[in-house]
């Protein structure tokens, strides 16, 4: 199933949906939206031209019901292959049926849940969503025998199947099975590990309940002197206040609260690390990190290169912090000043029609064919545009193989919404080209690649806006917006990745992860990343306790690599023109027909080397230089 790519308003999280791979929910907007209050329309009041055309998936409910019944019947057929997957003919037939079931189930699931997202309070589509989830589970259970049964064959037999011409369509699937064979256990051991699955989710579940339901924060005073209860959602709003006292009080209240729970939270994080070590040892991986990277076949050198290369460029981050202090006119820059607006809010009212025009113009470097497909998306019922009562918040790109992609927005007439539009259309066109160029299996690209196309679109839009801007105030607003993307998506996520690596290595060496040890590691990393010119407040040592990403271990590095790869692509496209565009379009068309690292390398971005990160850093340095010029 296609990656389900979300854009949430206040956080960057990874989610797992049933029958989908976990994916990044890239936060294209990090700033508070100061929007006028308005009456939200009901779904029935939403004009047809503002809605996506889900009829392109199923013309009506009867068609969905008929396909649902068809899948039910096919589930019975697939079970007839159990115990018979010993030769090329039976395996080819089984794979073909498996693909048919999977594709139909994907269509059922995507349609039902997108209908549900149109109005989450509508009981008809709540029920349809639940029904699609149940059939997905049934399919997963019915087809679960296929991989273990094929892997029970000898290595010699598997090698023979890979070379068999009748299985050419499934060569990559079989090669991947052979690659994973050393880490697949006996049937009984696999069964035992499967039963332990619910237990292994406990650390993340407990953290989620504590963090989202049980933790209560005190009241703090806002800019008007009113006492307001601090919440996760309001925290960034407080940090974006122009009043430093408001920022400081919210910061201290947040981390004082986590500090009171430090023993419980350290135990929870420690349990998650212990779980990772258990699975790594059980499946014969050298380390938890290598186990995590194995799925995408990413060499550990990619992870290590990211950290070491970012360390080389920390002086750039320190320089940006010095500039931030100067722009804020502060004697001391504190951790709670990182989200304070550097320039007075610049009013950029951009209607949806204007946003489409600007996005279309900015993507001219990608060529006529790309923009033709983009226009088809704008006009062809791909996009659900505006908020309505009950509609799912945020934004995402999704879809099913065999039809065009879909994009859900909650558009507001501002800069953030325009960036969200180009971001999600980047995902959509990646899926479009991938589907058009590959069979079903090879069209499924990995999460390692998922954020590249979307972020590339953002980079080209920003470049276009900066080139056309003649107002120094507007230019500074854009530059600070973009520079903060580097700070939060590259530097901060790399710091998170380094923290994860350190604590897992310590645990693997038998060292205890006490709250004091976790806080010490985290504080020292902040000192290193932000530099001596900044006051690294002691309170920040507890930030590890509130990061949900740490329960989806070794995931956050993909934000930094994806952003770096996209920035590298953008630089090559703008510098080289047509040759770089052809390589990039080749990347979009590659889907998942090869390993992610190879697909990027073929397109001119070799993430096994530091070069793409260095190219991204050269762009970041250019932003700082422009900002410094404007402040003279």
The 10s digit of each residue's pLDDT in 145-203 is 898 899 999 989 999 999 999 999 999 999 999 999 999 888 788 878 877 877 888 99
- Cβ burial of 201 (10 Å; 0-12, 13-18, 19+) is middle
The residue among 394 and 598 whose pLDDT is bigger is 598
- Cβ atoms within 10 Å of 70's Cβ, excluding its own: 14
User: Bridge partners of 24?
Assistant: 14
CA dihedral 512, 518, 520, 524 (to 10 degrees): 120
Contact 402, 435 (CB under 8 A): yes
Are 218 and 231 contacting, i.e. CB atoms less than 8 angstroms apart? no
The answer to whether residues 588 and 433 touch, using CB atoms and an 8 Å cutoff, is yes
Helices (DSSP H) in 84-212: which residue ranges? 88-118, 123-143, 146-151, 155-163, 171-180, 187-195, 197-200, 202-209
| β-strand pairing of 406-408 with 383-384 | parallel
* pLDDT for the residue 38: 55
Measured CA to CA, the distance from residue 421 to residue 352 in angstroms comes to 9
Q: Which run of H or of E encompasses 576?
A: helix 557-576
Give the model's pLDDT for residue 487: 96
Inter-residue contact 302 to 314 (CB < 8 Å): no
Contact between residue 602 and residue 584 where contact means Cβ atoms under 8 Å apart: no
Find the catalytic residue in 118, 149, 240, 424.
424
Q: How far apart are CA 12 and CA 24, in angstroms?
A: 7
User: What would the mean pLDDT of 595-616 be, rounded to a whole number?
Assistant: 95
Confidence check: pLDDT of 604 > 70: yes
Cβ burial 328-352 (10 Å sphere, 16+ → b, else e): eeeeebbbbbbbbbbbeebeeebeb
> Taking residues 19-38, what's their average pLDDT?
34
Query: In 225-347, which ranges are continuous DSSP H helix?
Result: 232-239, 244-260, 262-282, 288-294, 300-312, 314-328
| Three-state DSSP class for residue 30 | coil
pLDDT above 60: residue 115: yes
Q: How far apart are CA 544 and CA 523, in angstroms?
A: 9
State the Cα–Cα distance between residues 568 and 459, nearest whole angstrom. 10
Question: What is the model's pLDDT at position 526?
Answer: 97
Sign of CA dihedral 484, 244, 538, 271: negative
The pLDDT of residue 345 is 66
Q: pLDDT of 285-300, one tens digit each?
A: 999 999 999 989 999 9
Q: What domains are defined for the chain?
A: 60-184 (1.20.140.70)
pLDDT of res. 461: 97
Separation CA 591–CA 449 (nearest Å):
9
Task: Verify whether residue 424 is a known catalytic residue.
Answer: yes
Retrieve residue 294's tokens. Answer: 């194995």
Q: What are the angstrom distances between the C-alpha of 397 and each of 2, 110, 213, 428, 429?
A: 9, 11, 29, 6, 10
Mean per-residue pLDDT over the chain, rounded:
90
Angstrom distance (rounded) from CA 303 to CA 300:
5
Q: Please state which of the ranges 6-20, 135-149, 422-436, 467-481 shows the lowest mean pLDDT.
A: 6-20
Longest dimension (CA), the chain: 75
Q: Mind listing the pLDDT tens digit for each residue in 88-113? A: 999 999 999 999 999 999 999 999 99
510: which 2 tokens? 């038998």
Say if CB 432 and CB 401 are below 8 A apart.
no
- The predicted model gives 260-267 an average pLDDT of 97
How far apart, in whole angstroms, are the C-alpha atoms of residue 558 and residue 587? 17
Work out the percent of the chain whose per-residue pLDDT is above 90: 80
Please state, as a whole number, how many other Cβ atoms lie within 10 Å of the Cβ of residue 61: 12
Q: What are phi and psi of 13, to 5 degrees?
A: -130, 160
Sheet (strand 23-25) strand order:
13-15, 23-25, 5-7, 395-398, 406-408, 383-384
Q: What span, in angstroms and rounded, lies between the C-alpha atoms of 451 and 561?
A: 9
CA atoms within 13 A on the CB side of 343: 17
Cα–Cα separations (whole angstroms), residue 231 to 30, 226, 262: 17, 15, 18
Q: What is the mean pLDDT of residues 386-405?
A: 92
Q: What is the mean pLDDT of residues 560-589?
A: 96
Higher pLDDT pick, 15 / 452: 452
Report the C-alpha gap between 527 and 565 in whole angstroms: 27
pLDDT of residue 33: 34
**Average pLDDT rounded to a whole number, residues 207-223:** 91
Say how far apart CA 478 and CA 471 lie, in whole Å: 11
Q: Give buried/exposed letters for 461-481 (b at 16+ CB in 10 A, else e).
A: bbbbbbeeeeeeebbbbbbbb
Q: Which two tokens stand for residue 128?
A: 């349809």
Average pLDDT over residues 506-528: 97
Q: Which two tokens stand for residue 588?
A: 């979009």
The count of other CB atoms within 10 Å of the CB of residue 154 is 9
**End-to-end C-alpha distance for the chain, whole angstroms:** 52
Q: What angle do CA 393, 34, 244 make, to 5 degrees?
A: 115
C-alpha to C-alpha distance for 317 and 526, rounded to whole angstroms: 12
**What pLDDT does residue 512 have?**
94
Q: Are 483 and 596 in contact, with CB atoms under 8 Å apart?
A: no
> What is the rounded average pLDDT of the residues 420-431?
97
548 Cβ contact partners less than 8 Å away, ≥ 6 residues apart: 11, 13, 204, 207, 208, 211
Per-residue pLDDT tens over the stretch 437-446: 999 999 999 9
Helices (H), 261-299: 262-282, 288-294
Arithmetic mean of pLDDT, 219-244: 92
Cα distances from 596 to residues 335, 431, 444, in angstroms, run 36, 15, 11
* 444-469 confidence digits (pLDDT tens): 999 899 989 999 999 999 999 999 99
Q: Give the orientation angle of helix 123-143 with respect to helix 88-118, to 10 degrees.
A: 160
**pLDDT exceeds cutoff 90 at 32:** no
> Residue 528 belongs to what H/E stretch?
helix 515-530
Which residues are bridge partners to 15 per DSSP? Answer: 23
In angstroms, the CA 405 to CA 4 distance is: 11
**C-beta of residue 363 within 8 angstroms of C-beta of residue 584:** no
* pLDDT at residue 2, as a whole number: 45
């Amino acid at each position: 199933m296609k990656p389900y790519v979300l854009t949430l308003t206040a956080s960057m999280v990874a989610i797992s949906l049933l029958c989908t791979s976990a994916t990044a929910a890239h936060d294209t907007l990090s700033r508070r939206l100061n929007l006028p209050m308005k009456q939200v329309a009901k779904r029935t009041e939403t004009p047809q031209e503002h809605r996506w055309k889900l009829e392109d998936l199923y013309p009506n409910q009867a068609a969905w019901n008929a396909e649902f019944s068809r899948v039910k019947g096919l589930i019975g057929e697939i079970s007839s292959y159990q115990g018979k997957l010993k030769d090329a003919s039976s395996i080819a037939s089984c794979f073909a049926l498996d693909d048919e079931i999977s594709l139909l189930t994907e269509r059922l699931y995507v349609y039902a849940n997108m209908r549900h997202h149109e109005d989450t309070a509508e009981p008809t589509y709540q029920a349809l969503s639940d029904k699609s989830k149940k059939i997905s589970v049934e399919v997963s259970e019915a087809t679960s025998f296929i991989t273990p049964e094929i892997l029970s064959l000898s290595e010699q037999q598997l090698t023979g199947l890979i070379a068999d011409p009748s299985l050419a369509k499934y060569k990559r699937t079989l090669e991947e099975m052979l690659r994973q064979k050393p880490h697949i256990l006996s049937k009984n051991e696999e069964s035992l590990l499967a039963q332990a699955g619910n237990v292994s989710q406990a650390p993340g579940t407990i953290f989620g309940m504590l963090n989202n339901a049980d933790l209560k924060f005190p009241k703090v005073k806002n800019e008007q002197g009113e006492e307001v209860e601090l919440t996760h959602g309001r925290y960034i709003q407080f940090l974006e206040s122009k009043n430093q006292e408001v920022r400081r009080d919210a910061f201290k209240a947040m981390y004082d609260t986590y500090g009171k729970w430090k023993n419980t939270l350290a135990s929870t994080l420690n349990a998650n690390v212990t779980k990772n070590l258990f699975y790594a040892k059980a499946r014969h991986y050298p380390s938890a990190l290598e186990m995590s990277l194995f799925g995408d076949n990413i060499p550990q050198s990619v992870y290590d290169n990211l950290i070491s290369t970012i360390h080389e460029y920390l002086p750039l981050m320190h320089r940006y912090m010095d500039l931030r202090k100067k722009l804020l006119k502060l004697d001391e820059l504190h951790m709670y000043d990182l989200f304070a607006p550097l320039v007075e809010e610049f009013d950029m009212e951009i209607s949806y029609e204007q946003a489409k025009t600007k996005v279309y113009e900015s993507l001219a470097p990608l060529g006529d064919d790309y923009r033709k497909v983009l226009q088809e998306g704008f006009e062809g019922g791909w996009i659900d545009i505006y908020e309505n009562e009950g509609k799912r918040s945020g934004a995402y790109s999704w879809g099913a193989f065999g039809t065009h992609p879909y994009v859900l927005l909650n558009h507001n007439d501002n800069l953030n919404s325009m960036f969200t539009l180009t971001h999600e259309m980047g995902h959509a066109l990646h899926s479009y080209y991938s589907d058009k160029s590959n069979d079903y299996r090879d069209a499924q690209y990995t999460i390692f690649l998922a954020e590249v196309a979307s972020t590339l679109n953002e980079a080209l839009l920003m470049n276009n806006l900066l080139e056309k801007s003649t107002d120094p105030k507007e230019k500074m607003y854009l530059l600070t917006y973009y520079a903060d993307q580097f700070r939060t998506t590259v530097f901060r996520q790399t710091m998170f990745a380094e923290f994860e690596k350190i604590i897992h290595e310590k645990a693997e060496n038998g060292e205890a992860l006490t709250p004091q040890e976790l806080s010490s590691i985290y504080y020292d990393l902040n000192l290193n990343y932000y530099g001596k010119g900044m006051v690294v407040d002691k309170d920040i040592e507890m930030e590890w306790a509130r990061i949900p990403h740490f329960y989806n271990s070794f995931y956050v590095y993909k934000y930094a690599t994806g952003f770096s790869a996209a920035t590298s692509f953008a630089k090559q496209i703008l510098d080289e023109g047509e040759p770089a565009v052809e390589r990039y379009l080749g990347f979009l068309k590659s889907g998942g027909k090869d390993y992610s690292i190879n697909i990027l390398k073929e397109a001119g971005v070799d993430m096994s080397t530091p070069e793409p990160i260095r190219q991204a850093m050269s762009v970041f340095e250019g932003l700082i230089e422009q900002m410094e010029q404007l402040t003279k």
